[in-house]
């Protein structure tokens, strides 16, 4: 694979569809999402799998982080309703930033649960 086929904005963990926001190196580079950056490398596959399972939520977080207009928020609300997770809809007095932080926490909690469920060999 050459450089034109790699999305350098994404987390470096194999199969992760989150944005890389945290550098693992002291000189930059090796960008991971905030979930992979806090985890042991042995857990990375399970985390990527969970994030892909929750792709609709990852997409919502990425779109909110990029700056959401009224249509974006409406489309995210539709995706949340389709996933039957009305508890994740924006609250009446919640800013867009507060909403995406709450959604990021849901992703982090779900990935932590998956890691805890792994059976040691």
Number of domains in the chain: 1
Cβ atoms within 10 Å, residue 26: 7
Whole-number Å distance between alpha carbons of 121 and 119: 6
Beta bridge partners of 10: 19
The confidence score (pLDDT) of residue 20 equals 87
Q: Whole-angstrom Cα distance, residue 58 to residue 64? A: 10
pLDDT attached to residue 84: 96
Averages of pLDDT over runs of 10 residues in the chain (121 residues) are: 59 91 75 91 93 95 82 92 96 92 95 72 55
pLDDT given for residue 5 in this prediction: 54
For residue 51, give every residue at least 6 positions away whose Cβ sits within 8 Å of its Cβ, in sequence order, or none.
16, 17, 18, 33, 35, 58, 107, 111
pLDDT of residue 49: 95
According to the model, what pLDDT value does residue 8 have?
63
Whether this model's pTM surpasses 0.85: no
Instruction: Determine the structural domain holding residue 100 and report its residue range.
Output: 3-117
- Residue 15 has what DSSP assignment? T
């Amino acid at each position: 694979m050459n450089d034109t086929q790699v999305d350098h904005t994404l987390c470096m963990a194999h199969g992760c569809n989150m944005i890389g926001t945290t550098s693992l190196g002291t000189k930059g580079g090796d960008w991971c999402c905030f979930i992979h950056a806090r985890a042991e490398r042995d857990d990375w596959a399970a985390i990527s799998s969970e994030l892909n399972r929750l792709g609709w939520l990852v997409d919502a977080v990425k779109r909110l982080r990029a700056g959401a207009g009224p249509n974006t928020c409406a489309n995210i609300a539709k995706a949340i309703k389709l996933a039957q997770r009305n508890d994740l809809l924006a609250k009446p007095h919640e800013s867009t930033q507060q909403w995406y932080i709450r959604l990021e926490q849901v992703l982090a909690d779900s990935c932590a649960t998956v890691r805890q469920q792994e059976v040691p060999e």
